[in-house]
């Protein structure tokens, strides 16, 4: 597996032909609130959107736009979700796209859009409109850090990642920026992730690769139990790496899927680490399950249990809460075969607790990152699901979000 560069070599503008920018246009009081990603040549593209029935205007727009053959730009604002704010919200998406197309001298249908922020607020279109030429003027290879800043809401840190790997002897680059913070359940998050690559690949294959990667990474993280109206993952692929175009699901495709999964897993970890009020990340690993589907149901239930999350907060090895969450799925378990570990330390076996490793377990629970391993001994399937502790800080942040 290729090695990842975290922030060291940039993000969405490392792949050939990509530029980026980020600015403050006035949707937020002071912080950056608008970003643009642009490819000098046409890209094939793919996307995964929120499955929430309540969808923001830019999501509804991009769900149609993504069906186009090629794209050249992603436009995003933060600070306003442009969601459930009346028909004017829909109009402002169209106006933004029109304005950007004229500034970039590209077609409207080559543009994808995103928003993130508070639901239900009137979209400050004049401010955003004035920001668009500035975004275009500032496009550069060095603009990716600004772009990473422009999409944040309650995130403390930017999420930027890039990787290089070889495909038929050609150097291929993959870069991403993302935002997360809360509302990360059950599918994706209040999360945006924009991935760019110079790989050459057929559009349908790019879509299936992205879908598989998202299902195994962004759809397996839990900060709270809410699902956003704006979640979007985009990937743009301009082919400038000049590798032999991936045309079928052969070894080249499988290699790309593997890389994309590892890449998205790394982004997911950064999202959970920077989740609202998060101090600890726990990797809930369900092992030796009968099926992957069943393993995921168990992992999701444990990862989203408020009592498990507060157990992590208190660094308290109260495994009874894990048992309670497993049982709540209504799936069959052989309780006598079940083993529970924190990292390598066995805490539950043969239907009851194991006290002898308790001091080691308490040490493990105080680490910033550890595994809660649930070994079912029923088969060979394995699923990993990232969760976080639930802290008073989460409550403080979310009880004062709009006021």
DSSP string over 355-398: -TTHHHHHHHHTSSEEEEEEE--SSSEEEEEEEE---HHHHHHH
Q: Which of 86, 82, 85 is nearest to 59 (CA)?
A: 82
CA distance linking residue 121 with residue 179, whole number of Å: 20
Of 142 and 350, which has the nearer Cβ to a copy of itself? 350
Of 3 and 352, which has the nearer Cβ to a copy of itself? 352
Catalytic residue among 190, 217, 229, 232: 190
Sign of CA dihedral 181, 185, 190, 192: positive
**Token representation of residue 306:** 């408020």
The per-residue b/e assignment along 35-66, b for 16 or more CB within 10 angstroms, e otherwise, is bbbbbeebbbbbbbbbebeebbbbbebbeebb
CB of 322 to a copy of itself, least distance (A): 9
Of 33 and 389, which has the nearer Cβ to a copy of itself? 389
Q: What's the burial of 357, exposed, middle or buried (CB within 10 Å: 0-12/13-18/19+)?
A: middle
- Kindly report the three-state secondary structure assignment for every residue of 96-145: HHHHHHHHHCCCHHHEEEEEECCCCCCCCHHHHHHHHHHHHHCCEHHHHH
CB of 308 to a copy of itself, least distance (A): 8
| H/E element, 37 | strand 34-49
Residue 87 in 3-state DSSP? Answer: helix
Q: Write out the residues near a copy of itself by the rule CB under 8 A.
A: 51-55, 81, 83-87, 118-120, 182-183, 186, 224-229, 304-307, 310-311, 313-314, 316, 318-321, 323-333, 335, 348, 350-353, 390-392, 394-396, 398-403
CB of 386 to a copy of itself, least distance (A): 17
Q: Phi first, then psi: what are they for 214, rounded to 5°?
A: -65, -40
CB of 143 to a copy of itself, least distance (A): 31
CB of 339 to a copy of itself, least distance (A): 13
Q: Contact, 322 vs 374, CB < 8 A?
A: yes
Active site residue 158: no
User: Which residue, chain included where needed, has tokens 């736009």?
Assistant: 65
Of 86 and 133, which has the nearer Cβ to a copy of itself? 86
CB of 90 to a copy of itself, least distance (A): 10
Of 105 and 330, which has the nearer Cβ to a copy of itself? 330
Of 148 and 299, which has the nearer Cβ to a copy of itself? 299
Active site members? 190
């Amino acid at each position: 597996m290729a090695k990842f560069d975290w922030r060291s070599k940039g993000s969405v503008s490392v792949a050939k032909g990509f530029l980026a920018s980020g600015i403050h246009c006035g949707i937020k009081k002071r912080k950056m609130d608008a970003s643009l990603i642009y490819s000098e040549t046409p890209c094939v593209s793919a996307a995964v959107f929120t499955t929430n029935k309540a969808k923001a205007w830019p999501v509804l727009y991009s769900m149609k736009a993504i069906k186009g053959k090629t794209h050249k730009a992603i436009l995003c604002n933060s600070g306003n979700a442009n969601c459930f704010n009346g028909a004017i919200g829909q109009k402002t998406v169209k106006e933004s796209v029109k304005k950007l197309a004229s500034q970039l001298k590209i077609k409207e249908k080559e543009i994808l859009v995103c928003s993130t922020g508070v639901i239900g607020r009137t979209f400050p279109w004049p401010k955003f409109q004035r920001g668009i030429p500035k975004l275009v003027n500032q496009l550069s290879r060095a603009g990716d850090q600004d772009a990473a800043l422009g999409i944040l809401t309650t995130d403390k840190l930017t999420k930027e990642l890039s990787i290089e790997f070889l495909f038929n002897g050609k150097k291929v680059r993959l870069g991403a920026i993302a935002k997360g913070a809360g509302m990360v359940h059950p599918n994706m998050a209040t999360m945006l992730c924009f991935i760019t690559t110079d790989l050459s690949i057929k559009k349908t294959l790019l879509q299936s690769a992205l879908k598989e990667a998202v299902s195994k990474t962004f759809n397996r993280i839990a900060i709270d139990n809410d699902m956003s109206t704006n979640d979007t993952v985009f990937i743009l692929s301009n082919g400038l790496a000049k590798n032999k175009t991936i045309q079928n699901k052969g070894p080249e495709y499988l290699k790309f899927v593997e890389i994309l999964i590892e890449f998205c897993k790394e982004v997911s970890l950064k999202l959970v680490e920077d989740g609202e009020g998060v101090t600890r990340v726990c990797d809930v690993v369900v092992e030796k399950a009968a099926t992957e589907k069943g393993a995921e149901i168990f992992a999701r239930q444990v990862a989203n249990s408020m009592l498990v999350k507060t157990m992590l907060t208190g660094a308290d090895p109260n495994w009874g809460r894990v048992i309670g969450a497993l049982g709540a799925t209504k799936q069959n378990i052989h309780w006598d075969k079940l083993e529970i570990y924190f990292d390598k330390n066995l805490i539950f076996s043969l239907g009851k607790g194991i006290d002898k490793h308790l001091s080691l377990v308490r040490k493990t629970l105080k680490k910033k990152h550890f595994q809660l391993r649930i070994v079912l001994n029923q088969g060979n399937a394995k699923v990993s699901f990232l969760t976080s502790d639930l802290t008073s800080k989460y409550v403080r942040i979310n009880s004062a979000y709009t006021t």
